[in-house]
Chains A and B, each alone.
Chain A
Amino acid sequence: MAEITIRKRPRTEAVVTQRKFFKKTARGKVIKVLRERYLRDDVACGIHSCGLCAHEQDVLLPSSGSFEHASFANNGHFVLPDTNVFLSQMDLMESPLFSPPIILLQTVMEEVRHRSLPLYNRLKALVKSDDKKIWIFYNEYRSETAVIREEGESPNDRNDRGIRKATAWYNNHVSLARPPVRGQAKPPLPTIVLLTDDVANRQKAEKEGLTCMSVRRYVEGVKESGQLLDLLSAAGSETIEPTQAVAARQALYPDYLPMATLLAGIKSGQLHQGHFNANQYNYLEGSVSVPAFEKPVLLIGREHMNRAVQGDIVAVEVFDEKDWKAPADEVVDQEATLKNDDADDSEEEGEDDEALAERKVLQTELAKQSASSKQPTGRVVGIVKRNWRSYVCHIDSTSLTSTNSTSLSQQTVFATPVSRLLPRIRLRTRQAPALIGQKILVTIDRWERTSRYPEGHFVRALGKVQSKEAEQESLLLEFDVPYRPFGKAILDCLPPEGDNWVVPPKSETDPNWRDREDLRDLIVCSIDPPGCQDIDDALHARRLPNGNIEAGVHIADVSHFVLPDTPMDHEAAARGTTVYLVDKRIDMLPALLGTNLCSLRPHVERLAFSVIWELSPEAEIVNVRFTKSVIASKSAFTYEEAQVRKDDPKMSDPLTESIRLLNDLARKLKAGRMAAGALNLASPEVKIQLDSSESSDPIDVEQKELRETNSLVEEFMLLANISVAGKIQETFPQTAVLRRHLPPPKANFEKLQDILKKRRGMTLDVSSSGALAASLDRCVDPNEPAFNTLVRIMATRCMLSAEYFCSGSVARDTFGHYGLASPIYTHFTSPIRRYADVLAHRQLSAAIGYTSLHPSLHSKSHVERVLEVVNKRHRMAQMASRASVEFYVGLALKARSEKETVIEDAFVIRAFRNGLGVFVSRLGIEGLVTFKREIQFDADNYVITIPAGEQPVSIAVFDKVKVMVEVEQDKNTQRGRVVMSLSHPIDSRGM
C-alpha cells in the first residue's frame, strides 16, 4: 500500500506552486485563474531500458534513438520539436515516412493548443497513432525542467527557455542513465536534437551547447528526403524564393488588419463578418452575406477580395453607398485570362500582362453597369478564421518547366483545384512530372500579400484522373465526407450475436419486450425505391369498427441499438448522415444495423417505433399515440410494384386493401397540405442507370419517375414527423430536435420576378408560401410543359435551405417550415441514415416514458453543437451526391458523344454579356455557352443578340434552344468538363 501524506505547502512557495493567469471571458469580464502545480521527480523520460526512470506504461522510445539520419548514424538520436514545427509542418510530422523517435514536451502541446485548436487535435491524433514513436514529457511538472517566468520575460521566451532546459536535461539524463562500465569503451550517447525554425531560439540553444537544427536541414538528412521535402510547408522554409529579395517585391494585396482591430471593428458595427463565397462564373468576384444587409456584400477584384478563399470567415468593410456596384454579368474564366501566367515568376511585378488583362476585364464591366441592381460593395480587410483544408487538384501541365519524367529537380507549378470556387495554388515539388494526369491533394499554407496565388504543398496522390476510384475518393475528400471503415471500438457496440440476432420470443421478463406492443399480426408493408437495403419505414392501415381508420407508421428502432455516449453514437453523430453516391453508399451506421438488424425487412420480426393515428375518413387526426413495438412486415414493395398492385382491380387481399386505404388518405392529406399553402418544389433529379454491379459504366441517364405511391409514403412520413415534432417540443421545450425552413427574404426573388415579368408577363407573388404556390401554379406555358418545372427549379434556388435546430435556441415564431407550410417539423422517419432522427427517437422515447432522457440531450449547448455538425454534413452529403451524379452524367455523355453528336433541348436560365447559362433538363445539368465574338447584351431585358449575317438572332432567358453537348478534356489540367454550344436557333461553334 502506498503511503499517503498530505503536506501543506507554505504560501512562501507560491511562486513555484501556483500558476496564475488572467482570462478575458466572452462577456468582456476579466477573471483570474489559479492553478496548483506539484513538481515531481518521477516524471518518466520514456526511453526504453532507462536505468533512472521507473516506467510503468509501455515505453515507446527505443533505447538509443534512431540511426536513420545521416548526421547521427553512429550514436543515434531523438527529436525534440519546438512549437513552431507543429504549427507549420504538421503534414510532415504526420507523414508515415517521417518516423524518428519524438519527445513531445508539455510546453509544446500547450502552446499548440493555445495557438490553433485544429492543429492541436491533429497533434493529439498523431500521438495516439501506432506508427509513430512519440513520448509526451510533462516537463512543467518535473522539478528539474520546470521554469518560472522571469521579470519582464515574454511568454514566448519563457516557453523557449523551458524547451531548451528540457533538451539540456534530456542530454544530461541520457548520459547519467548510461554510466561508463569499467574496462569497456564508453558507449556512444544518443543526441537529443532540438528541431526548431526559430532562428533566435537556435542561436541561444547553440550557445548553451545543444544540438539543434531547422526542419529543412533535418529532413535533408533523412533517407527519403525527396518525398518528405515536398511535404514541408512553404511557411517554414526560408529558401523558397531564392532568387529575389523579399523587400524588392511589390505587394499585390493590402495588409490585413490585426485580429484585435478586426474584432473591435466588428463589435462596433463598422466591419461586417461573414463567410466568403466565391462566384463560380467569375473568379474576380465574390460575395459575403452579412446580417446587416439584405443583399450580400459584393467584392470586386483581387484587391478587394484580398486573399480570401471560399469558406473563410472574413471581415469586410462596406464602401459608401455611392460606390456600390452591381455584380458583373460576364463569365470570366481564370484559365482563359491567366493562361500565360508563369508559376515561377508570377510574383515579379504588379503591372505585368496578366494584371493588365484582369484590369481590362473589370473596367469593361464597370463601364456598362446598369444602375438598377446595385448592392453593397466592399472589401476584405482581414480574415477572422481561415477554413483551409486539403483540396483536390490537378497539376497544370503548362506550368511545368521540365516534363522530363526522370527529372527530380524542384519546380514551381500550379495546381488547379477541381472546384471552380478556388484559386490556383502554387506549389513546389520534385515529383511534378509524375503527378501530371493524377488527382492530387494539396493544402494551402499561406498567402503572402506579395503573391498573386496562395502557396501550398503536395499531400498525396489520389490516383489517375477519370479512374473511378480516384474520382470517388476525391469527391469524398472534396465534400469532407468521413469515409473510413468503422473502427473496432464502434463495431464492438453491435449486438454480439451479429447476423443471428433475432427478436427474442415474447415474454414478460425479456428486456427487449419491456413496454413493447406486439404488432406482429398487423398487415404492415414497406414501400421503397428498388434495390433499397436500409428500409427504415413501414406502413399499415385498417378500418376501425367506428368508421374511422387506423393508420400506422413504423420506423426502425435504431435508438434501441445505438445507445447514447457510446463510440458508435459518437461516430454516427460525427458522420451525421449516410451519403449516397451513384455507385457507393457511405453508411452512417455499421452495415449490420443499417441493412439488417434495423432494416424492416419482410417476413422477419423487427423492433420498431410506431406512430399510430386514428384518422377520420376525411383524414383528420382524431387521436395519435406513439409506442415502441415489434412488427413483422408482410412485404417489401418497390414504388412500382405497389402502384401496380393498387391499380390491379383483380387484387383484393388485405395487403392491397391496406395500400388503397393508405393511398386514399394520402391524397386527402396532400390536398389538405396544399390548401394550407405547402409548396410543390422541384429540383432536377436524374437517375443513373448502371449496367451491372461489376462494370459500373452507366448506360444512360434517365429522369426520375414519380408515382402516386411515392407521394403516399411521403405524406405519411410528413404526418409522422409533424406529430412527433409536436410531442417532443411539448415535452422538452428547451432541447427538442426540430427542423425548420425559414421563409426566404423577398429580395431573393426579385431577379426571378423581374425576368418572369419582362419575358413572360407573369407575376410571382412571394408574400406567403401559399401565395407563392398559387402563383407558381399559374406559371404555365401551354406549349411547353417543362416550363413550369423550370420555374419551380429556379424558385427553389431562391429559397433558403432547411436546417435542424434546437427548440430552445431560437424564437418560437421561427419554428415553421416554409416549404411544407407546417408550424413545426422534425425528422423522425429515417434514423438509419440521419442522425437527427436518432436524437428525435431518443427524445420521443423519453417523452412517452419508455426510457429516461440521456443528460446530454437536456443540454442546449450540446444539442446545438451536434446539430451544427449534422447540418453541415447534411449539406455536404447533398453536394457530394449531386457531384457524383454529375460525374456519371459526364461519363454517360462521353460514351454517347463517341457514337453520335449529343444534341439536347435546353432552357436559357441566365444571360451574360458574353454567354448564356442553359439548363438541360433531360440530363439535369447546367452549362455555359460562351461566345468569343462580340454580341449585344440587353441586361435590363435579359436578351442577347448575336449578329449573324443579315439576320441577327436574339435569345432571351426562358427561351428554348438546342445545345450540342460535348465532353472535353482540358489539356492543361486533365479535368474533364462539359462544353456546350448552341445548335439551334444558331450554330454557335466558332463564335
Chain B
Amino acid sequence: MTSTLVSKSERAYIQASLQATPPLRGDGRGLLDFRTVLLETGVAPLANGSAKLNIGKMPHEGGGGTEVLAATKLEVEDVETGDGVDGGRIVCSVSCSPSAYPHLSSNALDELQYDLTVILQQTIGHPSLHPQNLTIIPRRKSWLLNLDVVILADSGNVVDALFMAARAALWDTKVPRTRAVEYHAPEETQTTRDSAGAMDIDQREAIPQTSGFDTREMVRTAADFELPDYWDEGEVLNGRERWPVCVTLNLLPPTHFLDATLPEEASVPLRMHLTFSFGTPNSANLQSMRLSGPGELDLNQIKAYIADGEKYARELFNALETKLREEDIRRNVKARDRFALR
C-alpha cells in the first residue's frame, strides 16, 4: 500500500528472518503479536463520537507508531427536498496528513486517501450494519452520519488502525434524542362544533375513514421534530456491537503474520484485509475481504486464511470491547464520582 522503499537485500533479510524457525521480527514480537494499542474515546468534544488510536507508540521516546483520529458528526438531512435518504445514511472519509506520508506527492496522497475511503465506506456503509436509529421522522428527516478519519502518522498496519478507530468512534457516537412533532386534527372538533353551532352534520362523513395500513397519514402529519432534552448527549447508535474490526494478514507463504511495520509491509508480496462483525458473542460475519499486492492465492488457501483471520479478529474484538467499556466508565461515572468527592 505504501511505497516505503526497501532495498532488495533488506527485503531478503526481513523475509528470511520471518520465515526462520523460530521466526524473528525486528522488534522481537511473535508473528501474531500486536504492538501496544492505545485508545482514548471522546477526544473531540464537539463531535458526536470520537476516538484516538495509536499502534506501536514507543514508551520511552514518547512518539512513533501509527496514529489515527476518528470522529463522527451527525447532521440533519431533509429526505423530501434534500439529498437525505430515508433511514439515514453514513458517509465515511479518510484523510491522510501529509506529514504522515512526507514522500508522497499530493496526487499520490489523494489516491491513497481515496483508496482508504473506499475500503471504509464499503464496509461501514454496508446495509447489514446500518443502525436503526438514524431516522428522525420517517420519510421526512434523517441523520447523516459523517465518519471522518484522519491518519496522523503511519508506521504500518494502517487499515487495522483505521477500522479500530472507526469502531471506537462509532461506539462512542450518541444520537441526540428527538421527538417527532405531528399535528392530528383533533377528533373533538366535531363535538365542539356541534355544541357551538348547533349544526346538523352527519358524523360519519366528517370523520375520515382510516385504514391501519395507510401509512401516508403518518408521514403527512409529522412535519418537524424537537429536542426534548437538549442537555442530553443522546442514545448510542443502535447495534453498536456490530461495527466490524479488521485484521490484516501479511502473507509470506508458507507463513503469515499480523501487525506489520512499514519495512515488513514492504517485504511481503500479498496482504489480506479481513473485516469481521461479531453481532452476537458466538457468531462472526465476514463483512469484507480484500487482497492487495502482486502475489496470488488459491481458494483453499483463502478459506484457511479466513478461518485463521476470524480467530485473530475475535481476540482483537474482545480486547477492543473491554477497553471501550472501560472508557465509557472512565469518562462518565468515574469523572462524576471524582467531582462529587472533591
Partners in one complex: yes
B288-303 interface code vs A (CB 8 A; 1 in, 0 out): 0000000000000000
CB within 8 Å for A254 and B192 given contacts A28-B141, A301-B197: yes
Enumerate chain A residues within 8 angstroms of B330, measured Cβ to Cβ.
12
Which residues B291-342 have CB closer than 8 A to chain A?
Answer: 330-332, 335-336, 339-340, 342
A32 CB contact (under 8 Å) in B48, B185, B339: B48
Determine whether A922 belongs to the interface, using a CB cutoff of 8 Å to chain B.
no
- State A531–B39 Cα separation when bound (angstroms): 84
- State A265–B233 Cα separation when bound (angstroms): 28
CB within 8 Å for A154 and B193 given contacts A34-B45, A317-B185: no
Is B176 a contact partner of A263 (Cβ separation < 8 A)? no
- State A366–B197 Cα separation when bound (angstroms): 8
Is A29 a contact partner of B75 (Cβ separation < 8 A)? yes
- State A461–B221 Cα separation when bound (angstroms): 49
Enumerate chain B residues within 8 angstroms of A362, measured Cβ to Cβ.
196-198
Enumerate chain A residues within 8 angstroms of B186, measured Cβ to Cβ.
254, 257, 381
Determine whether A13 belongs to the interface, using a CB cutoff of 8 Å to chain B.
yes
Enumerate chain B residues within 8 angstroms of A28, measured Cβ to Cβ.
76, 78, 141, 224
CB within 8 Å for A15 and B196 given contacts A21-B230, A28-B224, A30-B176: no
- State A149–B336 Cα separation when bound (angstroms): 9
Minimum CB–CB distance for B283 against chain A, Å: 31
Enumerate chain A residues within 8 angstroms of B217, measured Cβ to Cβ.
none
Stretch at the interface among A267-275, A464-472, A596-604: A267-275
B46-59 interface code vs A (CB 8 A; 1 in, 0 out): 11100000000000
Chief secondary structure at chain A's binding surface: mixed
Is A22 a contact partner of B230 (Cβ separation < 8 A)? yes
CB within 8 Å for A303 and B195 given contacts A260-B226, A267-B224: yes
Is A18 a contact partner of B74 (Cβ separation < 8 A)? no
Q: Which of B47, B196, B220, B231 gathers the greatest number of chain A CB atoms within 10 Å?
A: B196
- State A544–B230 Cα separation when bound (angstroms): 72
A3-43 interface code vs B (CB 8 A; 1 in, 0 out): 00000000111111010111110001110101000000000
A486-520 interface code vs B (CB 8 A; 1 in, 0 out): 00000000000000000000000000000000000
Minimum CB–CB distance for B169 against chain A, Å: 15
Enumerate chain A residues within 8 angstroms of B233, measured Cβ to Cβ.
20
Enumerate chain A residues within 8 angstroms of B331, measured Cβ to Cβ.
12, 14-15
CB within 8 Å for A319 and B193 given contacts A15-B331, A32-B46: yes
Is A155 a contact partner of B229 (Cβ separation < 8 A)? yes
Is A23 a contact partner of B183 (Cβ separation < 8 A)? no
B225-245 interface code vs A (CB 8 A; 1 in, 0 out): 011011111100000000000
CB within 8 Å for A34 and B183 given contacts A12-B330, A264-B224, A303-B196: no
- State A363–B194 Cα separation when bound (angstroms): 12
Enumerate chain A residues within 8 angstroms of B232, measured Cβ to Cβ.
22
CB within 8 Å for A14 and B45 given contacts A23-B230, A257-B186, A267-B224: yes
A129-143 interface code vs B (CB 8 A; 1 in, 0 out): 000000000000001
A144-164 interface code vs B (CB 8 A; 1 in, 0 out): 000011110011001000000
Closest residue of chain A to B233 (Cβ to Cβ) is: A20
Which residues A150-191 have CB closer than 8 A to chain B?
Answer: 150-151, 154-155, 158
Is B226 a contact partner of A14 (Cβ separation < 8 A)? no
Enumerate chain B residues within 8 angstroms of A32, measured Cβ to Cβ.
46-48
- Give the interface size class of chain A: 35 or more
Enumerate chain B residues within 8 angstroms of A21, measured Cβ to Cβ.
230-231
CB within 8 Å for A34 and B193 given contacts A151-B332, A270-B183, A359-B198: no
A255-286 interface code vs B (CB 8 A; 1 in, 0 out): 00100111111011011000000000000000
A368-384 interface code vs B (CB 8 A; 1 in, 0 out): 00000000000101000
A34 CB contact (under 8 Å) in B46, B201, B221, B227: B46
B21-55 interface code vs A (CB 8 A; 1 in, 0 out): 00000000000000000000011011110000000
B339 CB contact (under 8 Å) in A11, A15, A151: A15
Enumerate chain B residues within 8 angstroms of A155, measured Cβ to Cβ.
229, 231
Enumerate chain A residues within 8 angstroms of B48, measured Cβ to Cβ.
32
Is B192 a contact partner of A149 (Cβ separation < 8 A)? no
Which residues B69-123 have CB closer than 8 A to chain A?
Answer: 74-76, 78
Q: Which of A11, A14, A264 gathers the greatest number of chain B CB atoms within 10 Å?
A: A264
- State A359–B197 Cα separation when bound (angstroms): 8
Enumerate chain A residues within 8 angstroms of B126, measured Cβ to Cβ.
none
- State A323–B205 Cα separation when bound (angstroms): 14
Is B335 a contact partner of A379 (Cβ separation < 8 A)? no
Beyond known contacts A155-B229, A300-B196: 5 more, CB 8 A cutoff: A22-B230, A260-B179, A267-B224, A323-B199, A379-B189
9 contacts between A and B (CB under 8 A): A15-B332, A15-B336, A22-B230, A263-B181, A264-B181, A300-B197, A317-B185, A363-B198, A366-B197
In the A-B complex, the 10 residue pairs with the closest CB atoms: A265-B183, A15-B335, A268-B223, A260-B181, A264-B181, A264-B223, A301-B196, A303-B196, A22-B230, A267-B223
